[in-house]
Amino acid sequence: MTGFFHTESELVCDGVPVSAIADAEGTPVYVYSAADIRARYRALDAAFGDHPHRLHYALKANSRFAIVQLLRELGSGVDANSIGEIEVARRAGFTPADIVFTGVGKSAAELECAVPLGLKAINAESAGELARIEALAARTGRRARVALRINPDIDARSHPHISTGLTINKFGVPADTARELLASMAGRPLLQLVAIHVHVGSQITSIEPLRGAAAFLAGVAAELTRAGAVLEYLDLGGGLGIAYDGGRAVSPREYVAALVAEAGATGLPLVIEPGRAIVGPAGALVARAIDVKPRSASSDFVVVDAGMTELLRPALYGAFHRIEPVRRGGGPLRAYEIVGPVCESSDVVGRDRSLPALAPGDLVAVLDAGAYGSAMASNYNRRPLPAEVLVDQGRWRVIRRRQTVDDMLAGEL
């Protein structure tokens, strides 16, 4: 068994007791399972069977260097959303041909760096951005490989903050505009249109929006082919959700089968940009209880040493993460509000949880925190970024040491 599971007595990660890591490295600490990351990558990859494809792991989910290197060893490409992510990917050994550059607001400085690199594609989000890329291509005398992100007006039915596929959302260009822009490409020799792109949202838990987006993109690709354009691939974005409640999610097989069913007939290789589905369940945030105090007649607060600074998702989206005691205690369950130490009432890690009695010093694990956890952590309240540990084949190592006050002050004048 890989990933996080309970033995008789305690929570382990790939067989290593989580308590041993917390005792050695302190808390809060992120712990990741390398085996689980590999298994999740391979499940998605294998689901394509013979159909030509490439996974471009979405770095925004977690771009910790050791994890990025692990993905490279697996043969992944990457989706980078900033020049910072591109640079991290390059230092981890990815070549420009492994990188797609996505994002709704690529700055002039970012494009100036990106265009000469000759990336697999810059996924353009507007007519203006295409023009800016074209101008830079003219200046550098190098044709730019571009993809166009099209907004299919499809409701991902995820949290509104992470649904991106409706025309009221800021992402991409609507179908009409896309058709005009795509038609203009024939007369723009400095832009090489290599793909078209959709991404309708994140944490998508039903297959329909993902299937609909693939069908939509396949339709546009067919129109383009009839008009004589030659695409290299279709970029279907990311978005596959995970089961935060421990229940069932859309499986990699079901997901990929739907994509291939809708877009396979184009004959084009399919690119996907999964983030959460690869690293989400492979990481846990481990925290220690600092204080326990009464909340109501029937429940207590447990103040733990991790909160919205380490894991913003509950405060930002009302997201649910399972919270489990690291050591199995017996005894009756109690109702707890698990809260962080930050000076905000939104700093609640888990509301109304039923757990065996907790006391100061006890460890808890916040599960499914590998994606958009450490990536969205902050220094609010001058809290140092937590340590992070990767467990691989029964051994563990620190992949990022806990930040110090000196680290925090570096760069301040």
d(CA 252, CA 210): 12
Using a 10 angstrom Cβ sphere, with 0-12 exposed, 13-18 middle and 19 or more buried, the burial of residue 112 is middle
79 touches ligand LLP by CB under 6 A:
yes
62 touches ligand LLP by CB under 6 A:
no
CB of 40 to ligand LLP, least distance (A): 11
Residue at token pair 């859309």: 250
Helix (H, G, I), strand (E, B) or coil at 91: helix
The β-bridge relationship of strands 191-197 and 144-151 is parallel
273 touches ligand LLP by CB under 6 A:
yes
> Would you say 85 or 273 has its CB closer to ligand LLP?
273
67 touches ligand LLP by CB under 6 A:
no
> Would you say 156 or 364 has its CB closer to ligand LLP?
156
Residue at token pair 């030659």: 230
Q: Where are the alpha helices (DSSP H) in 141-206?
A: 175-184
276 touches ligand LLP by CB under 6 A:
yes
274 touches ligand LLP by CB under 6 A:
yes
Task: Mark the segment that binds ligand LLP (CB under 6 A) among 32-40, 140-148, 232-240, 259-267.
Answer: 232-240
313 touches ligand LLP by CB under 6 A:
yes
239 touches ligand LLP by CB under 6 A:
yes
Which tokens belong to 65? 């260097």
d(CA 92, CA 72): 8
From residue 138 to residue 177, the character string flagging contacts with ligand LLP as x (rule: CB under 6 A) and all else as - is: ------------------------x---------------
Task: Mark the segment that binds ligand LLP (CB under 6 A) among 272-280, 326-334, 383-391, 402-410.
Answer: 272-280
Report whether 286 contacts 21 (CB < 8 A).
Answer: yes
Report whether 3 contacts 378 (CB < 8 A).
Answer: no
Angle between helices 207-226 and 175-184 (to 10 degrees): 30
Which residues, 6+ apart, have CB-to-CB distance to 227 below 8 Å? 183
Q: Which of 168, 343, 409, 410 is catalytic?
A: 343
Map the footprint of ligand LLP across residues 11-40, applying CB under 6 A: none
249 touches ligand LLP by CB under 6 A:
no
Is 343 labeled as catalytic in the residue annotation?
yes
CB of 372 to ligand LLP, least distance (A): 3
Chain centroid to Cα 398, Å, comes to 21
Helix count and strand count (H, E) for the chain? 12, 21
Q: Kindly report the number of other CB atoms within 10 A of residue 22's CB atom.
A: 21
CB of 125 to ligand LLP, least distance (A): 9
Amino acid type, 371: A
Task: Mark the segment that binds ligand LLP (CB under 6 A) among 90-98, 237-245, 282-290, 345-353.
Answer: 237-245
> Would you say 205 or 266 has its CB closer to ligand LLP?
205
CB of 56 to ligand LLP, least distance (A): 8
C-alpha closest to that of 194 among 119, 90, 263: 119
> Would you say 203 or 362 has its CB closer to ligand LLP?
203
CB-facing half-sphere around the CA of 385: CA atoms within 13 A: 17
Q: Binders of ligand LLP: how many residues, by CB under 6 A? A: 21
Which tokens belong to 160? 């509104």
Which residues, 6+ apart, have CB-to-CB distance to 37 below 8 Å? 67, 70, 71, 278, 279, 282, 370
CB of 123 to ligand LLP, least distance (A): 7
58 touches ligand LLP by CB under 6 A:
yes
From residue 186 to residue 205, the character string flagging contacts with ligand LLP as x (rule: CB under 6 A) and all else as - is: -------------x--xx--
Chain residues binding ligand LLP by CB under 6 A are: 58, 60-61, 79, 102, 162, 199, 202-203, 237-240, 273-277, 313, 371-372
Q: Which residues are catalytic?
A: 343
